[in-house]
Structure 1
Amino acid sequence: MRIAFVGESLIDFTAAGELAFQGHVGGAPTNSAVACARLGVPTGFVTQLSTDLFGERLLAYLQANGIDTRFVLRSDAPSTLAFVERTPTSNRYAFYTQGTADTRWAPAELPALPADCRWLQFGSISLLQEPAASRITQFVEAQRGRRLVLFDPNARPSLIPDLAAWRQRCTRWLAAADLVKMSDEDAQLLAPDRPLDEMAADCLRHGPKAVVITRGGEGATLFRPGAEPLALRPPPVRVADTIGAGDTFAAGLLVALLERGVDTAEALATLPADGWLAVLRFAGAAAALNCTGEGANPPQRAEVDALLMQASS
């Protein structure tokens, strides 16, 4: 296991017209874990799944994608469900999380990740429900000095009853992270009406070595202390659906960083600009390919390599 993810695993029901919905395995950490595994990196997942019919499918899906599930607990609580409706500019969500298995993840003893696990990613709606939010925070903070941590807020405003309290908690999550990846929508939620460069500078002051802010089809921008921002657009593709694009981008970041030997805080802080551009290029290509199909469906490694070769020719 080289990369681990902690957080929710749920069923996304995407609107197919009127009251018709098509079910897909989802949850931001789950999508990212599947993306990492398909990109060829040994990947593990930390969560709690229901024993109901949805939970059985979630577990089978993780295992079918080669994800290490030794740290997946089981519960008779129901599975988390999400309903997604596409809009011209974004996606509209309705979540059913009350008392669900993943939101009740609170083991008496925190998992002991293997020494060869060099990155841990956390974030998303798993940080919006107790007791999982507090226990995940403790788990992440326990990784300091053992492995690198990526924080992806991936927030859903409809699930945040107190924005001021959430913003305050974000300062703790930022302090626990070495790398932050967020969307421009996350940035606006954290600091409304502030320019992205100022928002990123605020994040960096909490301790992360780098912040990457994605802007959909406009690409992504990297911010680092004392360095000029680096921006890169993804290769053009025919977009069918953007669900899971950000999750796949985060996975691409981790895979590309790990392949460049970035598995310590020092290596992350000293990665040169050309190395970062290659990382952003890889992550952008992976995210773009995810958008060519319905639902979150991260690409295989060969597809990403082929798109990068095509884009460079």
Structure 2
Amino acid sequence: MIVCCGEALIDMIPSLDRSGEQTFKPHAGGAVFNTAIALGRLGVRSDFLSGISTDLFGKILLGELHKSNVATDLVQLSDRPTTLAFVELTDGHATYVFYDENTAGRMLDPNDLPTIPQAAKAMYFGGISLINEPAADFYLALAMRESRRRVIVADPNIRANFISNEKRYRARLDNLIACVDILKVSDEDLDWIVPGPLTQIEKAKALRERGPEVVVLTRGSAGACAFFGDDKMVEVAVKKVKVADTVGAGDTFNAGFLADLANNHLLDRSRIKTIEAGDLTRALEHGAKVAAITVSRPGANPPWAHEIE
């Protein structure tokens, strides 16, 4: 089982009404939520750990998790409001404005960490849940506590415009990176985490030196690569598709990548340390295949297992 730990929110997606005026339509979303949904649809046993509201939007979020076969035993319910993210699409590329003050997802107590089921072989962290306190400290404490027992995976999915205290966020991210086994970053994330004139390959290798056994780098249409072992690297191309938008692309890539590792019994701390090039290549290809389907249709709508060729 993979436990996905992080935000669930409502994406307010722009659309046009019958008169041609722009409106916003609510869609269940959030980076970690999207990955959990995708894992469930791919047939991987997954559980979701987050703070979710009992309000109208929270009920939508829980309903979508259940429809995609994601367990919600670890969800912490609250009467606080649901986080909202208003999405702006420019040439299919999504940017976000978040409304997250005093929400159910944000107000998790780092002094009240849940017990994780023994069946959980891996835990996945990421998204805006790593930015704002106290939830950010909750997730960091949880990752650090569980890092000796399970495979820890993280995708920071940097939203620079949402970070109010960069110094504290960078310190928290450094602590998280030091305890993860698999770190996934986009090219934009990489340049933010490791600023300066180094090449992307040099920056990715620098991240590996901070602790992760595997660093996965996604580069949009340029494909994806992974750095592992004794200065080794593998890379794969992505299938060319007509892009509707990029909402949820990275999140579903992560799900496809992790699903392949899980299905091949590689989500084990000892096996990650000795993972081979062929295993990573296959997992990257599966992640790219899943993401290609997602970007070909509007919104974060991950494919089901039967849709994967």
Same fold (TM over 0.5): yes
**Equivalent AA in structure 2 for residue 87 of structure 1:** T
Asked whether 1:88 is paired with 2:87, we answer no
Aligned partner (choices 213, 216, 219) of residue 215 of structure 1: 219
Aligned match of 2:247 in 229, 243, 248? Answer: 243
1:25-174 paired onto structure 2 within 5 Å: 25-88=28-91, 90-106=93-109, 108-174=111-177
Deviations 1:21-65 (A, max 9, x none): 122110000000000000101110001111111111111111121
Query: Are 1:13 and 2:17 an aligned pair?
Result: no
Preserved CA contact (<8 Å) 1:181 1:211: yes
Between the aligned partners of 2:173 and 2:37, the Cα distance in structure 1 is 26
What is the alpha-carbon distance in structure 1 between the residues aligned to residue 264 and residue 69 of structure 2?
Answer: 23
CA contact 1:105–1:132 (8 Å) conserved in 2: yes
Match of 1:275 among 267, 274, 279: 279
Q: In 1, Cα distance between the equivalents of 2:242 and 2:135?
A: 38
The answer for the alignment partner of 1:310 in structure 2 is none
Q: CA deviation at 1:148?
A: 0.2
Contact 2:7–2:128, Cα closer than 8 Å, also in 1: yes
**Equivalent-residue separation in structure 1 for 2:255 and 2:9 (angstroms):** 18
Q: What amino acid is the match of 1:183?
A: S
TM-score (norm 1): 0.93
The Cα offsets for residues 231-273 of structure 1, whole Å up to 9 and x where unpaired, read as 1112222211110010001111111111121122221121211
1:35 touches 1:248 (CA, 8 Å); kept in 2? yes
1:200-235 CA-to-partner distances (Å, cap 9, x unmatched) read 122111211010010112111111142332111122
Query: Structure 2: how far apart are the matches of 1:129 and 1:228?
Result: 35
Flag structure 2 segments of 5+ consecutive residues without an equivalent: none
Question: Is 1:180 equivalent to 2:186 in the alignment?
Answer: no
- Alignment-mate amino acid for residue 290 of structure 1: T
Q: Supply the AA of the counterpart residue of 1:300.
A: W
User: Deviation above 6 Å: which 4+ runs of structure 1?
Assistant: none
Secondary structure of the equivalent of 2:106?
A: helix
Instruction: String of CA shifts for 1:79-131, please: whole Å, max 9, x gaps.
Output: 00001111137322110001111001226532222212111000110011111
Alignment partners' CA distance in 2, 1:301 and 1:74: 30
Indicate conservation of the 8 Å contact 1:119/1:254, yes or no.
no
Change (3 A) 1:222 1:107: closer
Question: CA shift at 1:196, angstroms?
Answer: 1.4
1:97 maps to a residue whose letter is D
Partner of 2:234: 230
Q: Describe the superposition over 1:151-204 as per-residue Cα deviations: whole angstroms up to 9, x where unpaired.
A: 100011111123343223211010120000111111111123432112212211
Contact preservation (8 Å) 2:92, 2:244:
no
- Residue in structure 1 matched with residue 296 of structure 2 by the alignment: 292
Question: Contact (CA 8 Å) 2:41, 2:305: kept in 1 or not?
Answer: yes
- Whichever residue aligns with residue 11 of structure 2, its letter is D
CA RMSD after TM alignment: 1.4
Partner amino acid, structure 1, of 2:66? Q
Instruction: Tell me the TM-score normalised to structure 2 length.
Output: 0.94
8 Å contact from structure 1 (residues 204, 225) kept in 2: no
C-alpha distance in 1 between matches for 2:171 and 2:247: 28
Match of 2:266 in 1: 262
Q: State the percentage of identical aligned residues.
A: 38
Q: Secondary structure at the match of 2:118?
A: coil
Equivalent position to 1:22, from 10, 21, 25: 25
Q: 1-side partners of 2:111 and 2:174: how far apart?
A: 25
